[in-house]
């Protein structure tokens, strides 16, 4: 009996040792972040020293990463479920992924890691909202072993020491009477809050404390930062880093939309209300400065986490993925905000560090954020999840010029974007199309769709457009509003049971 006990203890200890050999995962999301960061150079005035430091110490930067959807909820739902919007039916922020038929039957990314020996924990915005509890936002608490419930992600509108809150059109504390679109929350200004009073600081501080822990098993830690999501309110110190008089104007082509037409030759887009309002009041430099200030703010939060990782005992055995959920317009294509199929909206940052990386490596291959799920499964040597979409890009992390046959596909309510290293093709559900030679025309000013010499290229790219689209089931999403606690939602309970059968 004694020998049996000793054998059992030895076997258990071997399992623990083998489990510890698996790498940890630090999964960091930054909301509404475009390429205005130092590693990508989208705006040379951006001050993001911590992102720059992260890549220079060793990381791969993807120059042509795309989101699966150009708006928060569907993008995050695709990343975390492993399915494109055209498969899941999650196209808008009002669509809750847990009510999708395909998501009900499949474990989400953190659930899959939990089922395969990882301890999963999260704070901040990773999932899009899935119900609330005691007035606190629930960003997918049901999917993690441990979840830190925090303040509502836009709660700085209540906490900031402005007297005016963050209603649409508040600029530096003053309300613009002619701002019409109340939904966009396009507002900005320096607050009197200290850095330590902000929501994203609280998330970063939580992460630094978790990295001091000894988990006893590999961990999958999600950290979600809110800025630079609107409203652009951050402490004054970050606005002070940019002189509005020295802000460079965004290069804009005023007739940029004229060559995007339907079959009848009618122009299908016009300048957005936000663009017209900012142009009318000559606020372009102020808007650019505000976005830059918010990026620098979140960069400081990220720096806290990365410094804590370096000082922890986990640094040499942790995969780090830093990603933005989609891009953002700041005047390009005569609009602000997101949710378009142009490059500004579909191309977010994606930076990956593997243990042992020692320098910055750039990759031009068009990977998708959807690919993070199968790639992490591969890197952590988990059983392959065969039924999810997306492609494992772990080979690119070893060799950025490795064979890669896939374009980056983005799906929205209005159509599909297909990006390669050479071309960007957009097909709208209305039938209108766009084609850009991204190497010769990186600003996408010259639509080549009507040039007959590109018919073959268009035909090839069109093969990647989803031929069928799952319809969103509105009755499911309305039903979700009846539950204020996700833990009591019967659909989520059923999802857990089904996903356990995998």
Least confident range of 99-108, 113-122, 210-219, 295-304? 99-108
Q: What is the pLDDT of residue 16?
A: 42
pLDDT of 86 strictly over 70: yes
pLDDT of 152 strictly over 90: no
Q: Tell me what the mean pLDDT of segment 168-197 comes to.
A: 76
Three-state SS across 117-158? CCEEEEEECCCCCCCEECCEECCCHHHCCEEECECCCCCHHH
Least confident range of 60-69, 255-264, 292-301, 363-372? 255-264
Q: What is the pLDDT of residue 92?
A: 85
- The pTM of this model reads 0.90
Per-residue b or e along 407-437, where b marks 16 or more CB atoms closer than 10 Å to that residue's CB: bbbbbbebbbbbbbeebbbbbbeeebbbbbe
- 72-81 and 372-379 are packed helices; what angle lies between their axes, rounded to 10 degrees? 30
Q: How far apart are CA 238 and CA 430, in angstroms?
A: 43
pLDDT higher for 358 or 494? 358
Q: Tell me the catalytic residues.
A: 72, 128
DSSP 326: S
Q: What is the pLDDT of residue 17?
A: 40
User: How many angstroms from the chain centroid is the CA of residue 132?
Assistant: 21
pLDDT of 85 strictly over 50: yes
Domains in the chain, please, with CATH?
21-258+274-406+472-499 (3.40.720.10)
Instruction: Please give the mean pLDDT across all residues of the chain.
Output: 87
Q: How far apart are CA 343 and CA 346, in angstroms?
A: 5
Q: How far apart are CA 145 and CA 339, in angstroms?
A: 32
- Evaluate whether 170 touches 164 at the Cβ level (below 8 Å): yes
Least confident range of 132-146, 211-225, 292-306? 132-146
Q: Tell me what the mean pLDDT of segment 306-329 comes to.
A: 97
Of all residues in the chain, the percent with pLDDT exceeding 70 is: 82
Q: What is the pLDDT of residue 484?
A: 47
Q: What is the pLDDT of residue 94?
A: 79
Report whether the peptide linkage leading into residue 114 is cis, meaning its omega lies within 30 degrees of zero: no
- Evaluate whether 397 touches 354 at the Cβ level (below 8 Å): yes
Of all residues in the chain, the percent with pLDDT exceeding 90 is: 70
The angle formed by the CA atoms of residues 400, 406 and 410, to the nearest 5 degrees, is 110
pLDDT of 474 strictly over 80: no
- Evaluate whether 297 touches 229 at the Cβ level (below 8 Å): no
DSSP 359: S
Residue ranges with strand state E in 12-165: 24-30, 59-62, 119-124, 132-133, 136-137, 146-148
- Evaluate whether 126 touches 222 at the Cβ level (below 8 Å): yes
Q: How far apart are CA 502 and CA 493, in angstroms?
A: 16
Q: What is the pLDDT of residue 492?
A: 67
- Evaluate whether 168 touches 181 at the Cβ level (below 8 Å): yes
Q: How far apart are CA 102 and CA 89, in angstroms?
A: 9
Q: What is the pLDDT of residue 193?
A: 86
Torsion of the alpha carbons at 293, 295, 299 and 301, rounded to the nearest 10:
80
- pLDDT category of residue 502 using cuts at 50, 70 and 90: low
Q: How far apart are CA 433 and CA 413, in angstroms?
A: 15
């Amino acid at each position: 009996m004694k020998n049996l006990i000793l054998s059992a203890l030895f076997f258990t200890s071997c399992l623990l040792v083998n489990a510890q050999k698996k790498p940890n995962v630090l999964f960091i999301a930054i909301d509404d972040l475009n390429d205005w960061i130092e590693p990508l150079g989208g705006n040379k005035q951006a001050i993001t020293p911590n992102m720059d430091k992260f890549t220079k110490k060793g990381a791969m930067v993807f120059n042509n990463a795309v989101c699966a959807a150009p708006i928060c909820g569907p993008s995050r739902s695709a990343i975390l479920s492993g399915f494109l919007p055209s498969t899941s039916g999650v196209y808008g922020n009002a669509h809750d992924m847990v009510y999708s038929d395909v998501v009900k039957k499949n474990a989400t990314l953190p659930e899959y890691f939990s089922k395969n020996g990882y301890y999963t924990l999260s704070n901040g915005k990773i999932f899009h909202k899935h119900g609330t509890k005691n007035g606190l936002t629930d960003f997918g608490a049901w999917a993690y072993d441990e979840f830190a419930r925090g303040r509502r992600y836009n709660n700085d509108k209540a906490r900031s020491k402005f007297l005016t809150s963050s209603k649409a059109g508040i600029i530096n504390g003053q309300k613009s009477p002619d701002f019409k679109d109340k939904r966009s929350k396009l507002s900005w200004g320096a607050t009197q809050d200290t850095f330590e009073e902000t929501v994203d600081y609280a998330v970063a501080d939580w992460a630094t404390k978790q990295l001091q822990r000894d988990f006893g098993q590999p961990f999958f830690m999600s950290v979600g930062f809110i800025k630079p999501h609107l409203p652009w309110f951050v402490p004054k110190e970050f606005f002070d880093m940019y002189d509005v008089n020295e802000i460079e104007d965004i290069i804009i082509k005023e007739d940029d939309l004229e060559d995007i037409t339907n079959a009848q030759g009618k122009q299908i887009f016009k300048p957005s209300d936000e663009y017209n309002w900012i142009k009318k009041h000559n606020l372009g430099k102020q808007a650019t400065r505000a976005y830059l200030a918010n990026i620098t703010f979140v960069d400081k939060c990220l720096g806290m986490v990365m410094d804590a990782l370096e000082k922890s005992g986990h640094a040499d055995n942790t995969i780090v993925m830093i990603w933005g959920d989609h891009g953002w317009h700041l005047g390009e294509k005569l609009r602000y905000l997101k949710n378009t199929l142009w490059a500004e909206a579909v191309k977010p940052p994606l930076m990956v560090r593997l243990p042992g990386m020692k320098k910055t490596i750039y990759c031009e291959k068009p990977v998708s954020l959807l690919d993070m799920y199968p790639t992490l499964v591969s890197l952590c040597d988990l059983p392959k999840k065969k039924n999810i979409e997306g492609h494992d890009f772990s080979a690119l992390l070893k060799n950025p010029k490795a064979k890669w046959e896939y374009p980056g596909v983005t799906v929205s309510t209005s159509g599909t974007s297909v990006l390669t290293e050479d071309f960007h093709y957009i097909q709208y559900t209305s039938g209108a199309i766009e084609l850009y030679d991204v190497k010769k025309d990186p600003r996408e000013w010259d639509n080549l769709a009507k040039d007959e010499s590109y018919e073959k290229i268009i035909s090839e790219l069109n093969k990647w457009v989803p031929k069928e689209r799952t319809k969103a089931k509105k009755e499911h999403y309305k039903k979700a509003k009846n539950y204020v606690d996700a833990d009591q939602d019967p659909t989520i309970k059923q999802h857990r049971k089904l996903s356990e059968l995998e």
